[in-house]
């Protein structure tokens, strides 16, 4: 049997964050004190019967832990995701048993797909009632097993600190992900001898693989002999903090860099070697040149079907180097010629010195040529229209210009998401927050709220469709109560735009259940004491964006945009990348 894997070792600083002397306290207090030991100062949550002892304990720690009362538990999960992705700290969510716990499901699944660390703590009925269909009892462990990185039910108070320590370690380490700790009511009210010990080791878990230098050397050889090398930058770059190394690699060997949806902001969009976004609605050059490159260097990405199109025709000509921390992603969709099973930062650190300086001017020029074609056929009309109704892209252009590309852009799901992702000019890392893998409508309002809490000094702009907004708009209540200064832009086309676009292109314009008869969004915002404005004219948009950004605190800007606008380019679902359509 293969023996090359090194067993995980205990690190020397595993005793840090350890309470000095044990004390007898309740399980509920142990929850809060464990969180404080993990440096948690913010919790997004919603109380209920089975988690009441924990909320009661929280009452005594209000000076240390800020609890943000959301309006729906799903909102708490997305807020925690936004908080983590903007500020870097693991988001924490509280919810009660039964419906409180089931309302976490969408956010957990979203965080799992998009590798976002999150610790959810749910109350549960007393251990003696487990399995009896007690009031608000649900098998949250069973329900969340496939959508969490790890979960555990705690039925004894003395297991609480250990479970929370393990939860944080699992959530943050390796490929991050959400975890759930379900704590029965008896464990919350029971007593324990409290002593907190942070976890940095689980014997069956090796979060960071040992870098195999042979694979790095092989990757370097392949890159050094490449004529048309091409980097696909994924979320893993941001997670591992390898943004600078990515730029160094690209600069050194003059390699074009395209980004996945979640990799956006890893490289500044103004970098000369940055060529655009991959995927179904990505840029033209990045998509067609995937089938032209001789070497593809995929870093921290997982070849999602929205990126690959038809897999059998994907980059057949290219040698694939796949740098990826999650072994299960290697060879899952696209077979790697060189697999570097490693953390992106570690791999790039080892790789860079082996890379020879090179020029690929002609190759880079093919991206620019494709850009010019896209510019002519799509981009210019989108960004600088002179007649007709307002276009989503021009609104995004104004936001991008007026925030100098330095805001945190939080997008929802659909046409507006693709448009905003395509046209926002990202300058700094971790300024793009969106629901990628799951495509969760309703993500952005709560996520933007969390992002603002996680990065209070940044301008946070949520770009939301009219459909998405109505899925989680109750979080305006949280925004008001907590005074969270998010800027909300609703691009209102009175349609579920992306579905309508597909209906137009692939279902003979049979617009089945996609038209929205919408409420007055500005009035709704007013009801939550959030100021706002509705814009329908091109002449007003620049001023309206400025007003939004200049107004202290939260603001809602509704922009009525062209109803039947389509997002192009587009690779039809399941089609080869070469079948990309510009119009």
**Residues making contact with other proteins (CB under 8 A):** 1, 3, 5, 7-8, 10, 141-142, 145-146, 149-150, 152-156, 159, 162-163, 166, 170, 199, 201-205, 326-328, 330-332
CA dist., res. 244 & res. 237, Å (int): 9
CB contact set of 59 (below 8 Å; sequence gap of 6+): none
CA dist., res. 103 & res. 98, Å (int): 9
Active-site residue list = 73, 135-136, 185, 498
Sequence-ordered alpha helix ranges (H) in 15-89: 27-37, 52-58, 73-87
CA dist., res. 161 & res. 523, Å (int): 46
For the bound state, the minimum distance from the C-beta of residue 402 to other proteins, rounded and expressed in Å, comes to 43
Residue 395, CB-side half-sphere exposure with 13 Å CA sphere: 32
CB contact set of 528 (below 8 Å; sequence gap of 6+): 476, 477, 479, 480
Determine contact, residues 306/322, Cβ cutoff 8 Å: no
For the bound state, the minimum distance from the C-beta of residue 226 to other proteins, rounded and expressed in Å, comes to 28
- Sign for the CA dihedral angle at 86, 91, 94, 99 comes to positive
**Residue number with CB closer to other proteins (328 or 361):** 328
CA dist., res. 183 & res. 300, Å (int): 34
CA dist., res. 277 & res. 287, Å (int): 8
Determine contact, residues 29/23, Cβ cutoff 8 Å: no
For the bound state, the minimum distance from the C-beta of residue 120 to other proteins, rounded and expressed in Å, comes to 16
For the bound state, the minimum distance from the C-beta of residue 334 to other proteins, rounded and expressed in Å, comes to 12
**Residue number with CB closer to other proteins (201 or 511):** 201
CA dist., res. 224 & res. 233, Å (int): 19
For the bound state, the minimum distance from the C-beta of residue 351 to other proteins, rounded and expressed in Å, comes to 23
Sequence-ordered alpha helix ranges (H) in 254-324: 284-288, 305-308
**Residue written as token pair 């969106």:** 434
**Residue number with CB closer to other proteins (146 or 353):** 146
Strands 274-277, 295-299: pairing kind: unpaired
**Residue number with CB closer to other proteins (206 or 533):** 206
CA dist., res. 78 & res. 121, Å (int): 15
- Sign for the CA dihedral angle at 54, 59, 64, 65 comes to positive
For the bound state, the minimum distance from the C-beta of residue 174 to other proteins, rounded and expressed in Å, comes to 9
For the bound state, the minimum distance from the C-beta of residue 223 to other proteins, rounded and expressed in Å, comes to 26
**Residue written as token pair 């945190």:** 408
- For the record, the structure tokens of 357 come out as 């300086």
**Residue written as token pair 């070469």:** 578
Nearest to 248 by CA among 365, 152, 177, 348: 348
CA dist., res. 359 & res. 253, Å (int): 6
For the bound state, the minimum distance from the C-beta of residue 377 to other proteins, rounded and expressed in Å, comes to 39
CB contact set of 271 (below 8 Å; sequence gap of 6+): 247, 250, 257
């Amino acid at each position: 049997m293969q023996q090359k894997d090194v067993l995980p070792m205990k690190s020397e600083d595993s005793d840090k964050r350890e309470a000095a002397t044990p004390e007898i306290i309740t399980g509920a207090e142990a929850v809060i004190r464990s969180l404080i030991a993990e440096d948690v100062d913010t919790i997004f949550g919603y109380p209920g019967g089975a988690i009441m002892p924990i909320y009661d304990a929280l009452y005594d720690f209000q000076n240390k832990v800020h609890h943000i009362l959301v309006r729906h538990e799903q909102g708490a999960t997305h807020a925690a995701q936004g908080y983590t992705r903007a500020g870097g700290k693991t988001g924490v969510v509280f919810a009660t048993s039964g419906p409180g716990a089931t309302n976490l499901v969408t956010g957990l699944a979203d965080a799992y797909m998009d590798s976002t660390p999150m610790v959810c703590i749910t109350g549960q009925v007393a251990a003696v009632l487990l399995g009896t269909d007690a009031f608000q009892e649900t098998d949250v462990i069973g329900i969340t097993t496939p959508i969490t990185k790890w979960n555990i039910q705690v039925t004894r108070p003395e297991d609480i600190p250990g479970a929370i320590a393990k939860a944080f370690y699992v959530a943050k380490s390796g490929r991050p992900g959400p975890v759930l700790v379900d704590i029965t009511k008896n464990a919350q009210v029971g007593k324990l001898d409290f002593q907190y010990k942070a976890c940095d080791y689980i014997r069956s878990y090796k979060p960071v693989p040992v870098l195999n230098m042979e694979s790095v050397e092989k990757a370097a050889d392949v890159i050094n002999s490449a004529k048309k090398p091409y980097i696909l930058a994924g979320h893993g770059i941001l997670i591992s903090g390898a943004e600078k190394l990515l730029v160094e690699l690209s600069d050194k060997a003059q390699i074009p860099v395209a980004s996945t949806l979640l990799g956006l902001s890893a490289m500044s969009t103004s970098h000369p070697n940055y060529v655009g976004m991959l995927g179904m609605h990505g840029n033209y050059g990045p998509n067609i040149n995937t089938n032209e490159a001789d070497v593809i260097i995929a870093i921290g990405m997982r070849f999602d079907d929205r990126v690959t199109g038809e897999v059998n025709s994907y980059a057949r000509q290219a040698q694939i180097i796949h740098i990826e921390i999650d072994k299960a992603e290697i060879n899952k969709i696209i077979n790697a010629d060189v697999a570097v099973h490693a953390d992106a930062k570690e791999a790039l650190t080892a790789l860079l010195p082996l890379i020879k300086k090179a020029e690929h001017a002609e190759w880079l020029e093919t991206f620019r040529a494709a850009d010019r074609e896209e510019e002519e056929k799509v981009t210019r009309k989108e960004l600088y229209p002179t007649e007709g109704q307002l276009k989503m892209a021009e609104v995004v252009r104004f936001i991008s210009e007026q925030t100098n590309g330095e805001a945190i852009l939080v997008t929802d799901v659909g046409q507006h998401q693709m448009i905003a992702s395509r046209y926002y000019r990202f300058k700094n890392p971790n300024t793009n927050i969106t629901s990628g893998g799951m495509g969760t409508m309703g993500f952005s309002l709560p996520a933007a709220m969390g992002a603002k809490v996680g990065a209070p000094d940044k301008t946070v702009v949520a770009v939301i469709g009219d459909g998405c907004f109505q899925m989680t708009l109750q979080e305006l209540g949280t925004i008001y109560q907590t005074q969270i200064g998010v800027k909300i832009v609703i691009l209102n086309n009175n349609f579920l735009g992306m579905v309508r676009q597909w209906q137009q292109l692939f279902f003979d314009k049979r617009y089945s259940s996609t038209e929205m008869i919408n409420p007055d969004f500005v009035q709704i915002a007013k009801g939550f004491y959030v100021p706002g404005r509705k814009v329908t004219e091109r002449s007003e948009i620049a001023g309206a964006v400025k007003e939004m950004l200049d107004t202290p605190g939260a603001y809602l800007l509704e922009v009525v945009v062209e109803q039947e606008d389509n997002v192009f380019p587009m690779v039809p679902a399941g089609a080869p990348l070469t079948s990309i359509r510009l119009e």
